[in-house]
Every structure is written in C-alpha cells, then in structure tokens.
Amino acid sequence: MRILIFGANYKPDLGPSAPLFTMLCENLVRLGHQVTMITMVPHYPSGRVSSEFRGKLVWRSVENGVDVVRVTLPSVNRSRILLRLLQFAVYQIGATLVGLGKKYDVAFVASSSLSAWLPFAVLIVLRHKPAIYSVYDVYPNVGIKLGIFRHKPVISLVAAMEKYCLKNSSFVRIISDSFKPALRALDVPDEKMVLINDWVDTDLIQPLSRSNELAKEFNLTGKFVVMYAGNIGFSQGLEHILTAAEILRDHCEVHFVFVGDGAERENLHAQAEKQGLANVQFIPFQSRERLPEVLASADVSLVSLKRGIGLDSLPSKTLSILASGRPVLVCADEQSEICDLIRKADAGFCIPPESPAQLANMIIKLKNDKQLCQRFGTNGRSWAVNNHAPLVGAKQIEQLLMKAICKKEE
C-alpha cells in the first residue's frame, strides 16, 4: 500500500504523539508499505520552531524508509489560543499543498479537525480516497470543558468540522471505548468505530535504577519522588497537585517534581513560589533519549486530568509510566478509560480529579508500603509489554487500512 499519514508531531519534535507516529510509520515500512508522513516542523511544547527548521517552507527527508515532509509554522506563544490556531491554519494549508503532489492508496489522519479539516476535505473527500480518522481527543467536547470554546458559533463551527471528517472517513479509530458516547452524539455509528490501543516503546523505556544519572544531576536521590512528567498545559489541573504538596509540606522526605514545559508552566511555577513550597521542584523538558531516566527517577508517577476531560482523552504518557515499572496515581474521572486501564493492569490507584487531600493520602500510603509499590510497578511493566507493543499496533492499523480500501471499492 501507498499510505499517506497526517499528524502534528514526528521526531525530533517533543510532542507526546511524536514517538507514536514515528513508531507507526517505521513499522508500516517494515511491513512492506510505502509511507509518507506530512507533519509540522518541530515546535512542541513551547510553540517556538527549532532554529534548524527555519528559513524554508518545506523540509523533505527519508528517515528509516519513511518519506517525511515537514511543513513550516510561525513561532508563537502556545499559551495564547488564537496564535495556536494560527499554527494549525498554516499547517492545514501547507499540508494540503504538499499532499496534492503525492500518490497514495489510503490515508491515516490524526484528529482534531482544527489541524486536519482542509487536507481531509481536499485530499480525501475531493480525491475520493479511503481514510482512517484517528481520534485522540473528542472535539469540541474537550475544548468546551477546558473553557477554550466558549461561544456557540465557535462550538458549532468546530463540531461541524469534526463531523465532516468523521462522516467522510471509512473508519474512525478510537483509543478508548469511553469515546463512543461522545462520538455517537456526533452521528458516528458504532460499526464505524474501531478500538486500537496506542503503543509504547518498551525497548527504550525500561525499569531502570532509581539511582541514575538524572536523579543525581537534579538531586533526587534520598527522597520519595512524586513526579509529573509531560505537557504542563490547560487540561491537567496541576494546581491541585500543588495543593497536595502544601498538605504534605511537613513530610520532608516527600518531594514533588514537575518535568516538562507547556502553556501553564510559568503560572504553576509562580504559584509554587508564592506558596513557598520547598518540596516542589521544576525540571526543564528532557530529550526523548533521557525519558527512561526521567521516569526511573520517580517513586510514584502522576497522571492528572481536569474533571470531565478523562471521558474524552487518554494521555499517552500513561503507557510510558507503565513501561517504566513505576506505580501510577491517576487523578481522573472514575468512569474514564484511563482509570479502567490502571485497574485492569493493577498498576496503581485512581483518585477523583481535583481532590488534593485524597491524593496526599494515597501518596503517603504508597510511601509506607514498598511491597505495594513494587507490585504495581511490576504489573504495569508486564501490561505494557503484553498489550502495547509497537509492531502489534502497526499490524492492527495495517489491517484497518486494507479494510478501508476494500470498503471504498465496494
């Protein structure tokens, strides 16, 4: 097959989806397919384009057999929503123009329509090509819950764009069964939705020693480290973790660490300083090569989502934590897919979102029970290896793409 893939991030970008798309493309090539990836120039998480990707409109390269095309973007402050939308608009135009010169049998398109609508309309619908629309967050629901979409005309426009992509796709790939009710509300029939789990690089991310070079570099040895590593943005509700840190400020051995960057990092850092939280530390975004060390430097890892967000989102960082062999505390809605995942894997505890007192209690519970921490970590690693291997995911995507081609030909 000649496969055309659209997605916002690809290595060396630092976005959480970058390794997912890199692994997918490279494994599809290993399975014998011709793969073209049309993506954005590296810009995540700050919104500022890397210096080596400035000065041209399009960068083309062949990387491990994948034809990678990177479209230019303006450098912006991602904390400003309108500027972020500008980046999406520029990408849509660039990706569409680049795609016009490509030959392909089928497409795999990453949601949301904010970055995918125009290439979908031109390169899929107008060209009568089969496509898989892969949903990672359900829009406009996520934007409404975050307060990003506040006006009815904006909500209606985003919903219409999303419905267009969903309606005109051959299949809708979902990463969580919990997405189904919201997608049904967008008129997607159940028979069109296909659950395919995300994947994680279990060869790269290993259960390393707690006493590693990164832990020593940032003085994390000899402490009970509670870590949040990832995007510090609008949807995580990380201010409640600071409240938990304030509750536990007299437990000198408990140390909260935030690793990463994002639109809310400066605000969160300022809040921690205002509260005088000496038990909170911020570490800059680390390269992917250091991710195993980052995750291994935690005694407990955190995944946090604001109330309601977990019903429409499943953070990919969760799989990396499981692969790292560390227990996980999830702050998310009880009925969310991420809580269901943690329960199935028996890899940690779920706590209602925005409940810092309960979070503090669970942290102390894990601190005082090393055997429980070990059990959760071992179970999480086994679950990741057995259920989220990259090649397994690529084969499932391959089968769905073939099915889409057959469906289009009927």
Low-confidence residues in the chain, pLDDT < 70: 79, 140, 142, 144, 146-148, 310-313, 410
Structure tokens at 90: 């520029």
- For residue range 265-284, list pLDDT tens digits in order: 889 999 999 999 999 999 99
Distance CA 113, CA 359 (A): 35
**Residue pair 296/288 in contact by the 8 Å Cβ criterion:** no
Whether the predicted model's global pTM rises above the 0.85 cut: no
Instruction: Please name each of the domains of the chain with its CATH number.
Output: 2-199+389-409 (3.40.50.2000), 213-387 (3.40.50.2000)
- The number of residues in the chain equals 410
Alpha helices in 31-148 (DSSP H): 81-99, 113-119, 141-145
- For residue range 321-336, list pLDDT tens digits in order: 999 999 999 999 888 8
Beta-strand pair 58-63/66-71:
antiparallel
**Residue in the structure block whose two tokens are 């899929």:** 124
Distance CA 221, CA 202 (A): 25
Whole-number pLDDT of residue 81:
74
Whose CA is closest to 79, among 48, 118, 49? 48
Coil/strand/helix, residue 75: coil
Buried b (16+ CB within 10 A) or exposed e, 301-336: bbbbbbebbbbbbbbbbbbbbbbbbbbbbbbbbeeb
- Sheet containing 224-229, strands listed edge to edge, beginning at the edge strand earlier in sequence: 280-283, 254-259, 224-229, 300-304, 328-331, 348-351
Which amino acid does the sequence have at 158?
V
Task: Give the DSSP letter string of 136-193.
Answer: SB-TTHHHHHTTS--SHHHHHHHHHHHHHHHHHSSEEEES-GGGHHHHHHTT--GGGE
